[in-house]
Amino acid sequence: MHQLIHPVEIIDKAPDHPGLILVPCFMDDNLSISWLPSKTYQGYVPEKNQIFQIFLADQDLTVVLLGMGPDDHIATVFESFRSFMINHRKMITKDLLVDLRQLPDDLAYQSVLGLTLSDYSTGTYKTGKSSSVAFPKIQILVDRFHPTLETVVQEAGQTAEVVKRICALVDAPGNIKTPAFLGQWAVDSGKQFGYQVALLDYRELKAENLLALLAVGQGSINQPLLIKMQYLHPDLDPAETHLGLVGKGVTFDTGGLSIKRATNMHYMKSDMGGAAAVMGAMELIARLKLPINVTAVIPVAENSVDANSIRPGDVIGSHSGKSIEVIDTDAEGRLILADGLSYMQQHYHPGILVDLATLTGNCVAALGYQAAGLFTNSNDLADRFTSAGEIAGERVWRLPLWDSYGDALHSDVADVKNLSGKPVAGAIAAAKFLEVFVEEAPSWAHLDIAGVAFGDTAHAKMKSATGFGVRLLLEFVKSLISTKL
Ligand code: BES
Ligand code: ZN
Ligand code: ZN
């Protein structure tokens, strides 16, 4: 599994011989850079993602100005730092001092995230000697008169570690990342960071009537399971209204008997991106000891092709008691989520219920790789997620849940069918299906992250995990903490 490689240290006094200094520069800045004597530097600001190097031979010091462009959007700052570390790795032979004294807290946070996420590698399973250059130590220079910045930098470091652990999970191949493997990850994380984790195994799933989850998993030799995670803050009343998180954990989605075409099927190892985001958010909330009560329920299964697989046309039961006609076995995510949502409500009664899932290709068709689809019955949650998305650099865009969209899920033989009869508005139809199983939560939000969980990234040539959702959920939770509903 992935190890954190960058040691990061926060300092409020520059070392005597820093060697290599990185200074972020914005287009409209009127920079005076304290490291440079004014005769060496005429105020030139490099273009976005470009660098300008100045070597001061008398001090054996290299000052690198990193262009941030005119736009100080959060994602730009994050990407500039990350690409600098990836593209100029060979230049960084000495320890690196990053001068963040001129940055406001939110941009300092993004800078540290970009710096520390840059050593993530997808080459975990390569054999032989690694040819990569050694990773430098990074020192972050902050202003001693600005103590909040230090907290921000610490938090960014923790966030980066969790995001990397989550990317490693999403990038892990389906043969390694079985349901049991995900369960063990959760158990280990709970032990290490001090929160409760319990697993429901095959026998317990039967006893608890999680029939839709069992149905999806019945074609795989890797049995399904349910992961339960709970973090209760010691200063809060455990009965206090809390947040419930549910994540789609399909460890590999072949489509089942409604089998997918081969071309891009290998991407379906990422079909547990929703589960991974929820697991990352739980770990991060616990690591940061945030004052909130959160419970997570994660249904995990492998959707395989087998003599025991569910068939198109089968009618299955569910934890809620409702019967479901399975028109398409490739619409399996909504089946396991139906049980996850129902189990969560019956056992924990959260005041706010949020689910994340790589649910539909149709959401990718609608929003591309830029934003997750947001579906919610609450304008307040819509506002919170929209601004959390902007702050985190992980955008969401709201789509409707109007009643008339639900008509397409009518079944003549069961309470509901899992596929709309029409080839339109597939992401909305999936959300409407989930809504059938959201009975008591006053506010519910569903995030379809199919387009954003796995894709083009700065650190890999092939598509790979983005870690989408961890930072978004962190900002959402912070918004709940700072202003109650
Ligand atoms: N896991 C897929 C959705 C998906 C597609 C995730 C592309 C990431 C990228 C999901 O289980 C699925 O197969 N959905 C079907 C639904 C259809 C059968 C109604 C789809 O989107 O085609
Ligand atoms: Zn599917
Ligand atoms: Zn799926």
Instruction: Express each pLDDT in 273-290 by its tens digit.
Output: 999 999 999 999 999 999
Work out the percent of the chain whose per-residue pLDDT is above 90: 75
- Residues, CB-to-ion distance under 5 Å, ligand 3: 250, 253, 271, 333
* Residue whose CA lies nearest to ligand 1 atom number 16: 331
Confidence of residue 344 (pLDDT cuts 50, 70, 90): very high
Least confident residue range of 4-8, 53-57, 134-138: 4-8
Residues of the chain with pLDDT > 70, as a percent, come to 95
Q: What are the pLDDT digits (tens) for 294-336?
A: 999 999 999 999 999 999 999 999 999 999 999 999 999 999 9
Indicate if the pLDDT at residue 131 is higher than 60: no
What is the per-residue pLDDT for 1? Answer: 37
Annotated catalytic, 287? no
Q: What is the pLDDT of residues 222-243, one digit of tens each?
A: 999 999 999 999 999 987 769 9
206 vs 210, 223, 318, 343, 398, CA distance in Å? 6, 12, 11, 13, 36
pLDDT class for 441, splitting at 50, 70, 90? low
pLDDT for the residue numbered 53 = 92
Residue 116 to residue 4: CA distance in whole angstroms: 9
CA 258 to ligand 2 centroid distance, Å: 9
Residue 430 Cα: closest atom of ligand 1: 19
What is the best residue among 254, 334, 359, 367 to mutate for testing ligand 1's pocket, by most ligand atoms within 8 Å of CB? 359
- Over range 160-175, report the average pLDDT: 98
Q: Is 10 a residue whose pLDDT tops 90?
A: no
* pLDDT confidence tier of residue 32, bands split at 50, 70 and 90: low
Residue of the CA atom closest to atom 13 of ligand 1 = 330
Residues 6+ apart with CB under 8 A from 147: none
Specify the residue with its C-alpha closest to ligand 1, atom 17. 331
Please tell me the distance between residue 244's alpha carbon and the centre of ligand 1 in angstroms.
24
Question: Residue range 169-176: average pLDDT?
Answer: 98
> Given pLDDT bands bounded at 50, 70 and 90, which one contains residue 168?
very high
Q: Which of 48, 94, 260, 322 is catalytic?
A: 260
User: Which pLDDT score is estimated for 2?
Assistant: 39
Rounded to an integer, what distance in angstroms lies between the CA atom of residue 88 and that of residue 100?
19
Q: Does the structure show a pLDDT above 50 at 165?
A: yes
Is residue 261 part of the annotated active site? The answer reads: no
How many Cα neighbours within 13 Å face the side chain of 184?
8
The pLDDT, as a whole number, for residue 4 is 43
- Within 6 A (CB) of ligand 1 lie 253, 255, 271, 328, 330-333, 358-362, 364, 419, 426, 450
**For residues 303 and 196, is the Cβ–Cβ distance under 8 A?**
no
Query: Rounded to the nearest whole angstrom, what is the distance from the C-alpha of residue 450 to the centroid of ligand 1?
Result: 8
pLDDT of 484: 66
Q: Residue 485: is its pLDDT beyond 60?
A: no
Report which bound ligand comes closest to the CA of 418. Answer: 1
- Give the tens place of pLDDT for each residue, 35-74: 888 777 778 889 888 999 999 998 889 999 999 887 667 7
Rounded Cα distance, 135 and 38, in Å? 32
Cα gap 446→90, rounded to integer Å: 43
Residue 184: closest CA among 300, 335, 343, 294? 300
Least-confidence region, from 41-45, 163-167, 221-225, 339-343: 41-45
Gap between the Cα atoms of 197 and 87, Å rounded:
40
Distance 268 CA to ligand 2 centre (A): 8
Catalytic residue among 269, 334, 417, 478: 334
Q: Which of 330, 356, 364 to mutate to test the pocket of ligand 1 (most atoms within 8 A of CB)?
A: 330
- d(CA 422, ligand 3 centre) in Å: 19
pLDDT tens readout for residues 387-416: 999 999 999 999 999 999 999 999 999 999
Question: Which ligand lies nearest the alpha carbon of 328?
Answer: 1
Higher pLDDT, 9 or 420: 420
The full length of the chain comes to: 485
Model confidence at 30, in pLDDT bands (50, 70, 90)?
Answer: low
Mean pLDDT of the chain: 92
**Residue 235 CB burial class (10 angstroms; 0-12, 13-18, ≥19):** exposed
CA of 331 to the centre of ligand 3 (A): 7
pLDDT at 293: 97
Nearest ligand 1 atom to the CA of 429 is: 19
Residue-range domains of the chain with CATH: 8-143 (3.40.220.10), 164-482 (3.40.630.10)
Residues contacting 165, CB < 8 A, separation 6+: 1, 2, 280, 283
Query: Of the residues 360, 362, 418, 434, which should be mutated to test ligand 1's pocket, given the most ligand atoms within 8 Å of the CB?
Result: 360
